[in-house]
Amino acid sequence: MGSFRDSAQVWQAWEKTREIAKVLQASMVVFQCPASFQPTPANVRNFSTFFRKVGRQSFRMAWEPRGPWPSELVYELCAEHRLIHCVDPFVNRSVYGDPLYWRLHGKGTYSYRYTDEDLDQLIAMLRLRHTDHAAYVLFNNASMKEDADRFRQLLPQS
């Protein structure tokens, strides 16, 4: 979203996102940043200004930083702005927020198809979190539908 700059383009993009999320009755809005959005002082300042101004509405908000963001800084920003740290759990650990929000991009490549062993490992990682909240697990790879269907079948029924 324009590196979270305080600009008309960024605010128009947010307003459109907010409208669509409201129509869809979404409970979560995810802000995924490209690896080019580095933890520079200007980017951190723009990020903080954006989330101070954005208003929460009824959405939970998650942030998926890419690139070399230090865990301590991610924690600080997520805590300050009440953001869920969104990660691919096969790559990184979430440092802040409940519920969990995991986005699985494929191991090493978007075309990766998760194995049953991978999915069992994912279930084990969920159990380790001991959270009372629901968890969001989104497959964002080429075989996302098939992988998500298999994952649902492997989940214990409760």
Q: DSSP string covering 105-144, please?
A: --SSSTT----HHHHHHHHHHHHHT--SS-EEEEE-STTH
Mean pLDDT of 69-77: 97
47 phi and psi angles, rounded to 5 deg: -55, -50
Mean pLDDT of 10-33: 94
Rounded to the nearest 5 percent, the helix, strand and coil shares of the chain are: 40, 15, 40
Residue type at 129?
Answer: R
What average pLDDT does the chain have?
92
pTM (2 d.p.): 0.90
The pLDDT, as a whole number, for residue 131 is: 60
**Helix 41-53 vs helix 71-81: angle between axes, to the nearest 10 degrees?**
20
- Cβ(147)–Cβ(105) below 8 Å: no
Q: Give the confidence band of 135 by pLDDT, cuts at 50, 70, 90.
A: confident
Q: List the domain boundaries for the chain.
A: 1-76, 87-158
Instruction: Find the radius of gyration of the CA atoms of the chain.
Output: 16
- Cβ(81)–Cβ(48) below 8 Å: yes
**CB neighbours (10 Å) of residue 143?**
16
